[in-house]
Amino acid sequence: MSEDPAIRQASLPEEAELVFEQPLNERMRTFLRIDFLYGQATYHNEHASEWSSRAAVASLMDILAITARTDVRADALKELERQLAMLHEFQTRPNVDGSRLRTVMSNLMRLRSELLGTGTGYLQPLKESEFLAAIRHRSAIPGGTCEFDLPDYYYWLQQPAEPRAQAFNEWLALLRPLCDSIAELLWLTRQNGRPREETAKGGVFHITFDRDSPVQLLRISVPQSLGLYPEISGSHYRSSVRFLTWNGLGARPSQATIDVPFTLSCCN
Supply the pLDDT for residue 14: 65
Give me the amino acid identity at 150. L
* Sequence letter at residue 39: G
- Residue 11 has a pLDDT of 44
How far apart are the two ends of the chain, measured CA to CA in Å? Answer: 52
Would you give the DSSP letter of residue 249? T
3-class secondary structure, 190: helix
Q: What are 173-196's pLDDT values in tens digits?
A: 999 999 999 999 999 999 999 999
pLDDT value, residue 13: 52
Residues in the chain: 268
CA-CA distance, 240 to 64, in Å (whole number)?
33
The pLDDT assigned to 234 comes to: 82
> What residues of the chain score a pLDDT lower than 50?
1-12
Strand ranges inside the chain, DSSP E: 17-23, 196-200, 204-208, 217-223, 228-234, 238-245, 254-255, 260-267
d(CA 262, CA 242) in angstroms, rounded, equals 12
C-alpha distances (whole Å) from 207 to each of 44, 196, 198, 218, 266 are 38, 13, 11, 10, 10
Domains along the sequence of the chain with CATH: 26-192 (1.10.3900.10), 193-267 (2.60.440.10)
Instruction: Please tell me the predicted confidence (pLDDT) of residue 203.
Output: 96
> Of all residues in the chain, what percent carry a pLDDT higher than 90?
81
Helix axis angle, 72-90 to 98-118, nearest 10°: 160
